């Protein structure tokens, strides 16, 4: 085969491969686009911020039994959105008590009211003052790449990791420690990190105890692992709710969605639901309301 025919054949092969290749990943605009979103999910494998059209969240007034936590996180976030110093936040404690719901509700509350509680920003057509970026637990090692994307942006970002914890020989917590406070670059001023966890120190108790019993220098080894939570200046504890709080959550949902049912019947059915589930929490209350709305033919809009 002569050189000219070979060149033509190779070109046809290259064209065929080009047609079969997936389209290149387009970087999502977070500053210049007029329709820039106020919430994204970090897709680490594609090095991409995926905009979220509608965030799955509940209204902040529906979160009952967490008044102190709500006001503390709201104030911290309001300062951050206004460009003032603010802390990274760790929301830890009982399952289903609204930790992740509170983060998303606070984000919505800040954007609805603006940095100073007014709507001037929205009236002027300005971008939302605060952006929520969810990063999955398994993508924590990619945090430096994400921060490099956000560092020079004019917007302010809450990085949110739900159900953050570390097990076994997982060493990715070291990269998180460096990113939060200890790295040479440090955390960008326009970024704060909020995480939720069932564990106060982000490590299982048996893992910490095992370090104490097997390490050559137990105190130093344990200190290294539990010091991760020290990088969060704000700790907010969530505890299992009592019956009165559980009923208040259920009644708040029923009023909000216009479900017509007398209080005594509502409490009796909600109590039976919690007994069957073996727990009382905001999540259990929401699951009961979904069941009640379905039985009543009521949409939860």
* 153/172 Cα distance (integer angstroms): 26
pLDDT value for 29:
60
Cα distances (angstroms) measured from residue 65 to each of 83, 107, 155, 241: 30, 19, 32, 7
pLDDT of residue 2: 66
Greatest C-alpha distance within the chain: 91
| pLDDT value, residue 13 | 79
Q: What is the pLDDT of residue 118?
A: 44
Task: Please give the backbone phi and psi of residue 17, each rounded to the nearest 5 degrees, phi first.
Answer: -65, -35
* pTM of the predicted protein model: 0.78
Contact 194, 89 (CB under 8 A): yes
The distance in angstroms from the start CA to the end CA of the chain is 69
166: its two tokens = 């570390």
Strands 89-93 and 131-134: unpaired
Q: What is the pLDDT of residue 286?
A: 95
**Which residues are CB-contacts of 221 (< 8 A; sequence separation ≥ 6)?**
211, 212, 215
Contacts of residue 290, defined as CB under 8 A and 6 or more positions apart, other chains included, come to 300
The CA distance from 71 to 66, in Å, is 9
pLDDT at 223: 59
pLDDT of residue 121: 41
CB 135 within 8 A of CB 143: yes
- Predicted local distance difference test score (pLDDT) of residue 41: 96
Which residues sit opposite 6 in a β-bridge?
none
Residue 171 near residue 147 (C-beta atoms within 8 A): no
pLDDT for 67:
92
Instruction: Single out the residue of 238, 237, 243, 236 nearest to residue 279, CA to CA.
Output: 243
Cβ 50 vs Cβ 28: under 8 Å: yes
3-class DSSP state of 176: helix
| Residue ranges in the chain modelled with pLDDT below 70 | 1-2, 4, 21-35, 114-128, 167-172, 181-185, 201-227
At residue 5, the pLDDT reads 74
48-51 β-sheet, strand order: 48-51, 39-43, 131-134, 157-161, 191-197, 89-93, 234-238
Select from 19, 99, 22, 111 the least CA-distant residue to 66.
99
pLDDT recorded at residue 32: 54
């Amino acid at each position: 085969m002569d050189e000219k025919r070979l060149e033509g054949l190779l070109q046809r092969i290259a064209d065929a491969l080009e047609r079969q290749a997936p389209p290149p990943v387009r970087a999502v605009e977070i500053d210049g686009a007029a329709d820039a979103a106020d919430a994204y999910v970090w897709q680490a494998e594609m090095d991409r911020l995926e905009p979220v059209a509608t965030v799955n969240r509940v209204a902040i007034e529906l979160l009952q039994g967490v008044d102190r936590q709500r006001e503390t996180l709201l104030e911290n976030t309001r300062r951050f959105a206004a460009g003032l110093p603010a802390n990274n936040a760790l929301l830890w404690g009982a399952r289903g008590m609204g930790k992740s719901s509170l983060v998303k509700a606070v984000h919505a509350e800040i954007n609805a009211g603006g940095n100073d509680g007014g709507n001037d920003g929205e009236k002027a057509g300005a971008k939302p003052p605060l952006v929520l970026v969810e990063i999955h637990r398994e993508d924590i090692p990619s945090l430096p790449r994400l921060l490099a994307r956000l560092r020079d942006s004019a917007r302010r970002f809450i990085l949110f990791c739900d159900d953050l914890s570390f097990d076994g020989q997982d060493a990715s917590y070291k990269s998180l420690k460096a990113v939060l406070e200890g790295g040479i670059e440090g955390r960008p001023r326009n970024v704060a990190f909020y995480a939720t966890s069932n564990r106060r120190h982000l490590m299982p108790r048996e893992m910490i105890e095992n370090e104490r019993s097997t390490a050559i220098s137990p105190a130093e080894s344990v200190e290294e692992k539990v010091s991760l939570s020290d990088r969060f200046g704000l700790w907010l504890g969530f505890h299992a709710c009592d019956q009165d709080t559980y009923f208040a959550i259920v009644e708040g949902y029923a009023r909000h969605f216009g479900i017509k049912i007398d209080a005594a019947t509502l409490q009796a059915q909600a109590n039976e639901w919690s007994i069957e589930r073996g727990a009382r929490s905001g999540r259990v209350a929401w699951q009961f309301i979904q069941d009640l709305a379905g039985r009543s033919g009521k949409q939860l809009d």
